[in-house]
Amino acid sequence: MINHIWFIIIISSILVSLFNGNIYNLNQVIFNSTLDSVQLAIKLLGPMVFWMGIMNIIKKSGFINLLNNFFEPFYKILFPKVKSNNEISSAILLNMSANFIGLGNAATPLGINAMKELQKVNKNKNIASPAMCTLLALNTSSLTVLPTTIISLRIASSSLEPESIIITTIFATSISTITAIILDKFFRSIKRRDK
Q: Is residue 89 part of a domain?
A: yes
Q: Is residue 106 part of a domain?
A: yes
The answer on pLDDT for 43 being more than 70 is: yes
Which has the higher per-residue pLDDT, 29 or 104? 29
Percent pLDDT > 70 in the chain is 93
3-state secondary structure (DSSP) of residue 142 = coil
Number of domains in the chain: 1
Q: Is residue 128 part of a domain?
A: yes
The answer on pLDDT for 64 being more than 80 is: no
Which has the higher per-residue pLDDT, 3 or 156? 3
Q: Is residue 28 part of a domain?
A: no
Residues 139, 142, 147, 151, Cα dihedral to 10°: 70
Q: What is the per-residue pLDDT for 172?
A: 93
Q: Are 48 and 103 in contact (CB under 8 A)?
A: yes
Q: How many CA within 13 A on the CB side of residue 78?
A: 22
Model confidence at 168, pLDDT cuts 50, 70, 90, reads: very high
pTM: 0.69
Q: Is residue 37 part of a domain?
A: no
The answer on pLDDT for 185 being more than 90 is: no
Q: What is the per-residue pLDDT for 39?
A: 83
What is the residue range of 56's domain?
A: 43-194
Residue type, 139: N
The answer on pLDDT for 194 being more than 70 is: no
